Amino acid sequence: MIFSARIDFAPARNSLDLERESLRAKGSAFFDLSQSNPTKVGLGFETDRITRAFANQANALYYPEPKGLANARRAIAEHFPPGRGEFPNVDPERFLLCASTSEAYSYLFKLLCNPGDSILIPRPGYPLFDQLAALESVATIPYRLEYSHPSGWTIDIDSITQALAGKGGASPKAIVLINPNNPTGSYIHREELSRIAGLCAERSIPIIADEVFYGYDLEAREDRRSLFGFEECLTFTLDGFSKRLCLPQLKLGWIYVSGPENEARKAMEALELVADSFLSAGAPVMNAAAELLEGERELRALVKARMAKVLSVYRSVLEDETSVHRLLRCEGGWTALVQSPRYAEEESLSRELLRREGLYVHPGFFFDMEKEAFFAFSLIIRPEEARAAAEKFRSFFDRYDGN
Ligand SMILES: Cc1ncc(COP(=O)(O)O)c(C=O)c1O
């Protein structure tokens, strides 16, 4: 075998993937109802604004600074006003910049895990994290999220306790909290955080908190909590321009390190060693950070208004009294989960939706949902397209006869 076992993560392609490839090969158009690329749905900054932010003579100079340029770290720090979450002391020296949050995960897995170690990740969850772990020769152990309607998702803390006790294998080296999680949209709530932090502090398990969607709340509960600057145990909070500024193409992400002083300082020093080997955040985007972040508030308001509109469109099309569908409570994030009758397996329903209606939509198994049938609808597509797609989706089920 030429390639390493790390490359072995890709699941076998299913009939939905094959159908999509065949449509693409034929040049047939279809609509992506799970679209999460903000640059494809008319969100993000105007081209002029990006061009202006990048016209900077400082881009001709190279300062190999492992944490990333100080001006960029200061600009980002200023965007976490005191009082964000509950933890006010934002220190620019505790930021480490890299190309994306995905890359931030890879730095942290290198920092915390030996090959063969494991980390805890939420299930249901986005498949990216299994891949990122596999590429570092790290295994993932799922902990459960549970849904009850209409109150929403909660973390099954017992599943964390069991995994931390090493049931079913070696004990994990870190826990990933995605706040809010993708695709469930569920935030970490006060009570959950205090129980998880207790477990982690007891066993010296660091928390990796992914807060890329934190500011995109919709039907959030009052008691949601940010982990940015969390002090009770060693915590790495991840974020970046991909979601925060709808600028995934610019490639800037970061890690913020917090926790008991001694541990946080040592972690920062070790992380700098990892980062020093790559120096992956580019000078142009770091030099543009302050100016781009100035547009954040306006952009955030625009995206949130669109999300709220699209969610109300889905509710109006899919939730009258004759509908066989329902939307799960959507606290935040860019995805709404729709529960539909399991007239057939999700894979077959989603393939037929694509074949007959020209609608591509991620089925629940993509995220390891415990039951069928669920579909992940994007909240950032244009509202008029969301309406047309949701109507087609509904009529597909209304007409469904199994043939
Ligand atoms: C929760 C979450 N974190 C991180 C990422 C990756 O973000 P980035 O583009 O910064 O690598 C994604 C991608 O969709 C995501 O859903």
Is domain 57-294 given the CATH code 1.10.10.10 in the classification? Answer: no
Which stretches within 279-382 are classed as H helix? 283-294, 296-318, 346-357
- Chain centroid, CA 84 distance in Å: 19
pLDDT at 9: 77
Distance CA 206, CA 164 (A): 12
Q: Which amino acid is at 304?
A: K
Ligand 1 touching residue 102 (CB < 6 A): yes
CA 213 / ligand 1 centre spacing (Å)? 9
Does the CB atom of residue 126 touch ligand 1 within 6 A? yes
Please tell me if the CB atom of residue 132 comes closer than 6 angstroms to any atom of ligand 1: no
Q: Is 178 in the pocket of ligand 1 (CB under 6 A)?
A: yes
Q: Whose CA is nearest to atom 7 of ligand 1?
A: 101
239 lines ligand 1 (CB under 6 A): no
Answer whether 0.75 is exceeded by the pTM. Answer: yes
Q: Quick one: tokens of 212? A: 């890329």
SS3 sequence, 60-101? HCCCCCCCCCHHHHHHHHHCCCCCCCCCCCCCHHHEEEECCH
pLDDT for the residue 13: 87
Residue 318 exposure: Cα atoms within 13 Å on the Cβ side: 29
pLDDT at position 85 is 54
- Sign of the Cα torsion 199, 203, 204, 205 reads negative
Residue 114: left if φ>0, alpha if ψ -120 to 50, beta else—which one?
A: beta
Q: How far is the CA of 129 from the centre of ligand 1 (A)?
A: 9
- Spatial separation of the C-alpha atoms in residues 40 and 359, rounded to whole Å: 16
**Is the CB of 183 within 6 Å of ligand 1?**
no
Using DSSP's 3-state secondary structure scheme, residue 332 falls into strand
Query: Which pLDDT score, from 0 to 100, does residue 79 have?
Result: 84
Q: Are 242 and 276 in contact (CB under 8 A)?
A: no
Backbone Cα Rg of the chain: 21
Instruction: For tokens 């990892």, name the residue.
Output: 274
| Superfamily (CATH) of domain 13-44+297-399 | Aspartate Aminotransferase, domain 1 (3.90.1150.10)
- Cα(101) to centroid(ligand 1), Å: 6
Report yes or no: 253 and 100 within 8 Å, Cβ to Cβ: yes
Number of other residues whose CB lies within 10 A of the CB of residue 351: 21
The residues, any chain, with a CB within 8 Å of residue 269's CB and separated by 6 or more, are: none
Report the relative pairing of strands 152-155 and 175-178 from DSSP bridges. unpaired
Domain span(s) for CATH 3.90.1150.10 in the chain: 13-44+297-399
For 56, phi and psi rounded to 5 degrees? Answer: -145, 125
How confident is the prediction along the chain (403 residues), in pLDDT tens digits per residue? Answer: 899 989 887 778 899 999 999 999 999 999 999 999 999 999 988 899 999 999 999 999 999 999 999 999 999 998 876 555 555 678 999 999 999 999 999 999 999 999 999 999 999 999 899 999 999 999 999 999 999 999 999 999 999 999 998 876 678 999 999 999 999 999 999 999 999 999 999 999 999 999 999 999 999 999 999 999 999 999 999 999 999 999 999 999 999 999 999 999 999 999 999 999 999 999 999 999 999 999 999 999 999 999 999 999 999 999 999 999 999 999 999 999 999 999 999 999 999 999 999 999 999 999 999 999 999 999 999 999 999 999 999 999 999 987 7
Find out whether the beta carbon of 238 lies less than 6 Å from any atom of ligand 1: no
Instruction: Return the best residue to mutate from 182, 187, 247 for the ligand 1 pocket (most ligand atoms within 8 A of CB).
Output: 182
240 in ligand 1 pocket by Cβ < 6 Å? yes
- Say how many Å lie between the CA of residue 57 and the centre of ligand 1: 31
Closest atom of ligand 1 relative to the 103 alpha carbon: 11
What residue ranges of the chain are covered by domains with CATH 3.40.640.10? Answer: 57-294
Question: By C-alpha distance, which of 163, 117, 153, 122 is closest to 138?
Answer: 117
Please work out whether the CB of residue 122 comes within 6 Å of at least one atom of ligand 1: no
Residue of 212, 216, 220 whose CA lies nearest to 176: 212
349: amino acid identity, one letter: L
Query: Rounded distance, CA 206 to CA 227, Å?
Result: 12
* 3-class secondary-structure state, position 125: coil
What is the whole-number distance in angstroms between the Cα of residue 308 and the centre of ligand 1? 21
Please state, in angstroms and rounded to a whole number, the distance separating the CA atoms of residues 23 and 16.
11
Which one of 98, 128, 135, 247 would you pick to mutate in the ligand 1 pocket, going by the greatest count of ligand atoms within 8 A of its CB?
128
Q: Are strands 326-327 and 335-339 parallel, antiparallel or unpaired?
A: antiparallel
pLDDT value of residue 8 = 83
Ligand 1 center–CA 102 separation, angstroms: 6
DSSP string across 7-67: GGGPPPP-HHHHHHHHHHHHT---EETT---GGGTT-S--HHHHHHHH--GGGG-----TT
- Pick the closest to residue 365 from 356, 354, 376, 355 (CA basis): 376
Contacts of 160 (CB under 8 A, 6+ apart): 120, 143, 175, 196, 199
